[in-house]
Structure 1
Amino acid sequence: MKIILALYCALVWTIFTKINKAYSLNILGVFPYEGKSHFFVFETYLKELARKGHNVTVISYFPQNEPIKNYHDISLAGKLKILEEVFPIKRSYWTIIQIPIFVVNSGTQNCKTLLEDKNVQNLWKAKSKFDVVVTEQFNSDCSLGLAYALNAPVVGLTSHALVPWHFSRFGVPFNPSYVSFMLLNGGTKPTLYQRLERTIVDTYLRIIYKYFSQRVDQSTLAQYFNNIPPLEVLGRNIKFLLLYTHFVHFGSNLLPQNVIEVGGYHLKNSKQLPEDLRKFIEGSPHGVIYISFGSMLKAASMPRDKIDSILSALAELPQRIIWKWDEKTLPRNPKNIYLSNWLPQNDILAHPNVVAFYSHCGLLGTTEALYHGVPVLAMPIFGDQPANAAAVEESGLGVQIELKDITKESLLKKFKTILTPEFRAKVKSLSQAWLDRPTSAMETAVHWTEFAARYPNFTFRSAAADVPLYQYLCLDILCVLLGIPAVIMLIILTCHLNCNRKFKQSTGNKKTSKNE
C-alpha cells in the first residue's frame, strides 16, 4: 500500500512539474534608469513573476542582496551614480525647462551604459530567447531596440501617470481642456492660462524627446545592431502598458484596451516598526503627522523663511511630528519632532495613530497614503507631482498647497482641514473604494504580462495611434464642411459680380445711346 501511495505521489508531482514548466516563461526585465524610487515599484512585480515560477532575468542598477529563486541579475551597479536627493526644493518655469533636458540626457546615457555592458551584449550574441521583455517607459526607448534584436514582445511599465510622448503612441486622447498634465497645475479643471501653459509645455516636451532622446538612442543602437526600426514605431508596437494609476485616485480617462491601470501593486503588508519609532507614535494622544518630500528632493534646501513657517505652524498643532530630514537637526530643535534621513514610510503610514501625511506628492507615497486611508497635504515641486497633487484634491484624498504660498496661517488652515474627523472618514471610505477591485493590482499586472507572452502576434493598440494627425484632428472633415459652403459662396459671389458688371455695362450702353 505504501509503495502504491509513493508511486501515486511521484506521478502527481511529475504531472504538476510538467504543467508548471509548461506555463513557465523566460522573461527579461530591462530597467536602465538609475532612479531608486522607480525601481522600487517594479521590483515587487518582478519578484512576484519569479515566485510564480517564471525565469526572470533583470538588468538594473539594483541587484538583489541575497539570491532569489528564478530571479537572475545582470547588474549595472557602479556604472552611474544612483539618483537620491539630487534636486533642491524649488519650483519655477526654469525648472520646468531644465527637468526634461535632464530626463532625456540621462536617458541617452542610460542607453549607452546599457548596450556597453558585456553581460547585456552576451544576450544577443548568444541569441538568448525570451518570451517577453518587460521594461520601463520613461526617459528612453533604447530597451525597445534591444527587445527587437531579441525578437521578443514588449510589455511597458510605468511608476507614474502617462508622460506627454505616450499619449499619441498609445492612442490616448490628450485635450488640455480636461486631461491632467503631469508637470503643471490645474488637474482636470484648468483655467485658460493653464490650458495655454499645457499646450506650450506639451509641444516643448515632445520636441525635446523626439530630437534629443529618440534620435540619439537610434544612433547608439545603430552601433550595435543593423536595421532597428524607428523607435517611435517600436513604441507603438508595445503589447501592453501597465500604467501605475487607478481611476479612484486619478478619475476617469479614455484609455485603450492595451493600457492597463495597475496602481498599487508595489504595496506590501506593513512590518513592525523600530521600537523607538513605535513608542514615539503610540505615545502621542492626538496622533502623529508624517512629513516626507521623497528620496529625490533635498528637504533642507527649502528657503529658510518657508522652513520657519512650517515649524511655526507645526508648533501650533497638538500632534507629534515624524519628519524625513536630510540633516541632523532642525532650526529651533523642536522636541515634538522625530528626525531621520531614512524612515520605513509604508510601515509608518500603516499605523492607526498616523493622522496626516505632508508630502511632495510622489506617486509611491501618495499610493501608500491612499492604501492606508491617511489624508494628504500635498506640496508638489516637479515632475508628475503637480498632476498627482491635483488628483489628490479632486478625489478627496487631501488638499494641496504651493511652496510659494506657504505661511504659518495658510499651512495651519490646510492641516486643520484634513485633520477633521469628517475629512478623515471620507478618506477611509475612498481607501476602501480604491481597494475594492475584482482582481488585485499585482494579479492584473502578472496576467497581462503572461497574456502578451502567450499571444505575441496579437496587437491591441488603439486605431487612434495609427491615424495621421490631420485625420485625428478631423482637419480634412473640417476642410470639406467649410470648403463646400465657401465654394458655393464664391460661386454665388462670382455670379453676382458678373451679373452686376453686365448690368452696369448694359446701363452704360443705354446711356451712351441716348446721348447720341
Structure 2
Amino acid sequence: MWKDIIVIQFSFEKYALGSCHNGGNSLRKGHNITIATSYKLSQPTTKFRHIFLKELADIFDNEKTNYFEYREHPYLQIYTYNSIGFLASEKIFQNSEFQQLLKFPEQFDLMIMEIVSTESLVYVAEHFKVPLITYTSVDASAWSNYLVGNPAPPSCTADVLSPYTNDMTFFQRLDNTILHILHELYLHFWTLPHHDKIAKQNFPGAPDISEYYQKSSLMLVNSDPSVCEPKPKVPGMIEIGGYHIKPLKPLPKDLEEMLNEAEHGVIYFSMGSNLRSKQMPERVLKLFLNAFSKLKETVLWKWEDEDLPGRPRNVIIKKWLPQNEILAHKNVKLFITHGGFHSTLETIYHGVPCLILPVFADQITNAVRAVRFGYAESINFNDLTPDEFERALGQLLRDSKYTQVAQERSRIMRDKPMSQKDTLTFWVDYVIRHKGAEHLKVKASLRLSWYQYILLDVIAFIIVSVLVIIFTLMYILKILKNVFSRNSLKDKNL
C-alpha cells in the first residue's frame, strides 16, 4: 500500500534530504512524496508534488550574499543561525501553497523535516497527526541532540561550530563547554519561546512547545564513520552520510576528453554552491592564479562567470561541473574545496585527497577533522598567503600518503551491509510500519527538564547537603567548645 509523505527542507544545501535531486529519489519507492523546498525545479515533474518556497529561497540567494565576507566568532554564530531559523520558519508559513496544504490535515502518513532551529515547524506533524522523522545535514550536534535525548558531553564531543576534534586540551574543553552552555541558554530562554510564538500565530490552538518539540520518532543523521569521529548516538539516530551520492553518469564529451588527456593529472577546484568563486577577494584570486601557473597539472575550476582574466593556460573554467563524476575519474589527483560536508563525503567516497579552505560554520570543523585523519591539508580562507598555499599544494601533490589515507577511508565508507539510500528507505518505512517507533525513543531522557538533564538539581542537592552537614558540625563543635569552656572554668574555680 502506497504511503503519502511530506518532506520540508530548510537547508542551504541543495543536497539536503528534501531536495528534488536525490532525497526524493531515495524515498519514492512505494511512496507519494510532497516536497516543500527552497530550490526551484528546472523543469516540471510528475514524479512528486513540489512546493517551491520562494520566500525561503530569497533568504538564501547566493547571488545577493557574498559568504566570503562572513566573519563571526562561534559564540555569535549560535545567535545568527537561530535568527535564520526563526526567519526561515516564518517564511515557510507565509508561503501560500504551503498554507493551502495545511488546510487538508488528513492526507499524509509521515512527515520528514530538516531541523536547524526550526522547532515551530514540528507542530505541522502534530497538525497532520502523523509520526515525524527529523533530519540533520551534518553529524549529531547541539541543534539536534536534544530532540532525541542524545548525550553529548562537552568534555569529549566537539561542537559543530568549534575548530576542534574530540580530543581536546584543557582550554579547548573550556571553550567547548562555554559553547555548549550558550547553546542550552539560547535554546531554553530564546529559541523555544520564539518558536512557540510562531507556532501559535499559525495554529492558535497549539499547546506549549514543550509538549511536542521532542516528538521526533527518528533522526536521520548525515554522518559516516569514514569522515566523522565516533560519538554517542541513541538508537533513534540513524547515520545516512553519503545517501546523496548517485550512480555515475557519462561525462560531457569535452570534459571526458580533457580528463583523459591530462598528461600530469587534474586538480579539481570548487567552493560549493553557496560560496561563489567569482565573489572572492581580488588578493586571493591573484594568489590562486599565480600558484596554478607554476603547476604542470591541469586545474579544473568551477567558476561562475564567462571569463577569468589572467587565467593561465593550464586552468579550465566551467560555470557548472558534475562533481561526483569528476571526483570518480582516475586522473583527478586533488580536490581543492571549502570543506562543505557533502563535498567531504564525496571526496572520501571516491578516495581523493583534498586541500580544504574553510570559510564558516561546520567547514572549519570538517577541515580540522580531515587533517587529523590524514587525507587533507587545510588553510582557513581568510588566512591564505602565497607561501602557505603553495606549500600545502606541493605537499599534497608530492606525498602519496594523503591518497593512501583517502582510499582507505573510501573503503571504510563503502563497506556496509546495505547502501545509504536503502538504509534511508528502510528506516522511513520502519517508522510508518511501527506507527512512530516509540520503542526507539530514549523516554527517560526526554522526560527530564533541561536542569534535570544536566544534573543541576542533583548538584544543588549535594552542595546544600554538604553545606548543611558542615554548618551542623560547626554548630555542634561550637556547643561542645562552650560546654568544655564552662567546665574548665568550673574546675579552675574549684
Same fold (TM over 0.5): yes
Q: Which moved more, 1:78-87 or 1:402-411?
A: 78-87
> What amino acid maps onto 1:423 in structure 2?
Y
The residue aligned with 1:289 is: 267
The 5 A counterparts of 1:466-505 are 466-478=447-459, 488-505=469-486
The Cα shift of 1:263 comes to 0.4
Is the partner of 2:273 in helix, strand or coil? Answer: coil
8 Å CA contact retained: 1:248, 1:395: no
Is the aligned partner of 1:449 residue 2:412? no
Shift of 1:67: 5.2
Q: Distance in 2 between matches of 1:67 and 1:341?
A: 23
The reply on whether 1:186 has 2:167 as its aligned counterpart is: no
Query: Per the alignment, do residues 181 and 137 of structure 1 end up closer, same or farther by CA in structure 2, a change over 3 Å counting?
Result: same
SS across alignment from 1:89: helix
Please give the secondary structure, in 2, of the residue aligned with 1:164.
Answer: coil
Q: Distance in 1 between matches of 2:230 and 2:489?
A: 71
2: CA distance between counterparts of 1:179 and 1:399? 22
Higher Cα Rg, which structure:
1
Task: Name the CA shift for 1:310/1:457 in 2 (closer, same or farther; >3 Å).
Answer: closer
SS at match of 1:46: helix
* Aligned positions of 1:231-250 closer than 5 A: 231-250=209-228
Which residue, 18, 32, 37 being the options, matches 1:55? Answer: 32
> Match for residue 247 of structure 2?
269
Which SS does the other structure have where 1:388 is aligned? helix
How far apart in 2 are the matches of 1:106 and 1:472? 27
Structure 1 pair 154–380 and aligned structure 2 pair: CA distance change class (3 A) = same
> Which range moved further: 216-225 or 254-263?
216-225
Q: How many Å apart are 1:359 and its aligned residue?
A: 1.0
Q: Name the amino acid aligned to 1:429.
A: E
Shift of 1:209: 5.1
Provide TM-score, normalisation by structure 2: 0.88
CA distance 1:493–1:169, change in 2 (3 Å): same
Secondary structure at the aligned position of 2:216 is classed as coil
Secondary structure of the corresponding residue to residue 5 of structure 2: strand
SS at match of 2:352: coil
Shift of 1:358: 1.2
Is contact 2:4–2:31 with CA below 8 Å preserved after alignment? yes
Any unmatched runs of 5+ in structure 2? none
Q: CA deviation at 1:363?
A: 0.8
Output the CA distance in 2 between the equivalents of 1:100 and 1:324.
Answer: 30
In structure 1, C-alpha distance between the alignment counterparts of 2:203 and 2:382, rounded to whole Å: 49
**Alpha-carbon distance in 2 for matches of 1:439, 1:142:** 34
Give the C-alpha shift of residue 55 in structure 1. 1.1
Give 1:487 deviation, angstroms.
5.0
1:135 to 106, 113, 116: 113
Note if 1:117 corresponds to 2:95: yes
Deviations 1:100-148 (A, max 9, x none): 4443344333333333334333334234321101111124123211121
With over 3 angstroms needed to count, the CA separation of the structure-2 counterparts of 1:92 and 1:489, relative to structure 1, is: same
Q: How far apart are 1:152 and its partner, in Å?
A: 0.9
Residue 6 of structure 1 corresponds to which residue in structure 2? Answer: none
Which residue number in structure 2 is paired with residue 347 of structure 1? 325
TM-score (norm 1): 0.85
Partner of 2:419: 440
Question: Shift in Å at residue 303 of structure 1?
Answer: 4.2
Measured in 1, the distance between the counterparts of 2:11 and 2:86 equals: 10
Q: CA contact under 8 A between 1:355 and 1:375: conserved in structure 2?
A: yes
User: Does 1:226 pair with 2:204?
Assistant: yes
Q: Which among 48, 54, 60 is matched to residue 71 of structure 1?
A: 48
The answer as to 2:314 corresponding to 1:336 is: yes
Q: CA deviation at 1:476?
A: 5.0
